Structure 1
Amino acid sequence: MFGDYSLTDLSSIFVMQGFAGLILFSVYTLMALGLAIIFGQMGVINMAHGEFMILGAYVTYLCSGFFQTHLPALFPAYFFVAMALAFIASGALGMLVEWALIRHLYKRPLDTLLATWGLSLILQQTYRTIFGAREVGVELPAWLIGSVQVTDSIEIPINGMFVMAITTLITIGVALLMYRSRFGAQVRAVVQNRPMAGAVGIDTERVDRLTFGLGCGIAGIAGSAFTMVGSTGPTSGQLYIVDTFLIVVFGGAASLLGTIASAFSISQTQSTLEFFLSGSTAKVITLLAVVGILMLRPQGLFTLKVRR
């Protein structure tokens, strides 16, 4: 596999693929953070999580067209507005779904799986009806186009660096929210002992709704980031949902640190293998490696002690 390359070529390949893996890691992290909050904190298997991501991508697409047509002078800054609107749209839809559907299915994980899988099909058809079956792409501002020449053989795309910067800020923000805020303390209290949390005055239903909305809102931001590295279609979210669940389970449910470590490991392995092997083979090898590790450590890389 490596015999046809010199050491210089291999070093350049590993650096380039490593950076490509970091971009994939950024999208995976944003997706997995939202899913870890929903699955790890609430025990809900949200099979429609990819469709919340694609809602954020379509919101970004609409913002791109609106700013190009009506506010061309502000077009260079439209992406920040698009990310905020993607978070609001996906988060609001998530809170509506929690109120109308999910709250009736707590402590029934298989039922949440079936219900959210049906929801994903409904959302896919809705996107297909509104936006059409063809994939669409966004127009990036000029400052996000191009790359930085590191060496003669290594170039780093600017939009990739931007996605990683956004991911870093959001990850820090989520960590501060969960471990340094009153809301985060309430969420952790509900996870550890729901009856006792309710007994001391915490509105557990409100916490559940806001938590589900937060997870879906982060998925919407992941959709905005996704538009920089791929085109958007009604079923694009399904390409990421399996990998995202794998990341959450591998990292350890309810562990944000485990989610980040798992996303980094899987994205880097997959990106490097895809250069030397086919994409499907790389996924199979990655999956087998993760399954093998989970057989030795079924609780995942990191776990939290939860009072039962």
Structure 2
Amino acid sequence: MFDGYSSSELVAIFAMQGFAGLILFSVLVLMALGLAIIFGQMGVINMAHGEFMILGAYVTYLCSNIFETYIPGLFCIYFFIAMILAFIAAGALGMFVEWAMIRHLYRRPLDTLLATWGLSLILQQTYRSIFGAREVGVQIPDWMMGALPLTDMIDLPINGIFVMVLTFAIFVAVALLLLKSGWGKQVRAVMFNRTMAGAVGINTERVDRMTFGIGCGIAGVAGAAFTMIGSTGPSSGQLYIVDTFLVVVFGGAASLFGTLASAFSISQAQSIMEFFLSGSMAKVLTLLTVVGILMLRPQGLFSLKIRS
């Protein structure tokens, strides 16, 4: 597999593919954070999670066009405003979906899966009707353009570095929210024992709605970040939904740090193997490895210890 490459070329290849894997890692982490909250904390299989990501991407696309056309002087900061609006739009839609549909399907995982799969098809067609079937891209601000040269053979794109920094900041914020805030304590209480949480005065329905909304809002932020490294189409979210579920299950459904470790290992393995093998073969080998590990450790890389 490494025949024909010098040692310096292999170092450069591994460095560049490793950085490309970190960009994929950033998207997977942002997607998986929202899904880990929804699936890990609530037990809901949300097959429409990718469409909430694409909603955030389209909100960013609209903000890019509006700022470029009407407020060109502030175009350099449009992404930060778009990121906030993407979170609000995806979170609000998520809360509405939880109120209108999900709350009637708790403890019915198969029904939830089918219902959210139908929702994903509806949202895809809605995006197709509004924005068209073609993929669209955003105009990146000038300060995100270019690359930082590390060596003569290795360049790191600035937009990729920005996405990774953004991912780290959001991960820290979500971890603090779940582990240190009063709302996070309520979420964990509902997850461990819903009946007892309700008995001590926690509004479990409100916690469920907020949890689902925040999970979907984080997916919207993932969509905003996705526009910095790729184009957006109505079905782009489905390209990541399987990998995102894989990350959550492999890392441990209720573990944020397991999600982080899982996303890193899967993204790096895929990125490096895709260079030397075909993309489909890299995916197959990654899936086989993950399935083999899950057979030995069904609870994932990390699991919560719960007193019985």
The reply to whether TM is greater than 0.5 is yes
Spell out the pairing of 1:124-163 with structure 2 (5 A cutoff). 124-163=124-163
SS of the equivalent of 1:229 reads coil
Q: Which residue of 1 aligns with 2:285?
A: 285
SS of the equivalent of 2:294 reads helix
Q: Which residue of 2 aligns with 1:271?
A: 271
Q: Name the % identity.
A: 76
Spell out the pairing of 1:53-132 with structure 2 (5 A cutoff). 53-132=53-132
Q: Which residue of 2 aligns with 1:244?
A: 244
Q: Which residue of 1 aligns with 2:44?
A: 44
Q: Which residue of 2 aligns with 1:235?
A: 235
The amino acid that maps onto 1:61 is Y
Q: Deviations over 1:205-251 (max 9, x none)?
A: 00000000000000000001111111100000000000000000000
CA distance in 2: counterparts of 1:129 and 1:307, whole angstroms = 50
Q: Deviations over 1:117-164 (max 9, x none)?
A: 000000000000000000000000000010000000000000000000
Q: Which residue of 2 aligns with 1:298?
A: 298
The amino acid that maps onto 2:178 is M
So what's the TM-score if we normalise by structure 2? 0.99
Gaps of 5+ in 2: none
Q: Which residue of 1 aligns with 2:207?
A: 207
SS of the equivalent of 2:148 reads strand
CA distance in 1: counterparts of 2:230 and 2:72, whole angstroms = 24
SS of the equivalent of 2:122 reads helix
Q: Which residue of 2 aligns with 1:26?
A: 26
Q: Deviations over 1:248-284 (max 9, x none)?
A: 0000111001000000000000000011111111111
- 8 Å contact kept, 1:90–1:217: yes
SS of the equivalent of 1:283 reads helix
- 8 Å contact kept, 1:105–1:111: yes
So what's the TM-score if we normalise by structure 1? 0.99
CA distance in 2: counterparts of 1:116 and 1:305, whole angstroms = 30
SS of the equivalent of 2:228 reads coil
CA distance in 2: counterparts of 1:306 and 1:157, whole angstroms = 43
- 8 Å contact kept, 1:193–1:307: no
Is 1:170 matched with 2:145? no
Moved over 2 A (4+): 305-308
Deviation at 1:169, TM superposition (A): 0.4
Gaps of 5+ in 1: none
Q: How many residues align?
A: 308
CA distance in 1: counterparts of 2:237 and 2:278, whole angstroms = 21
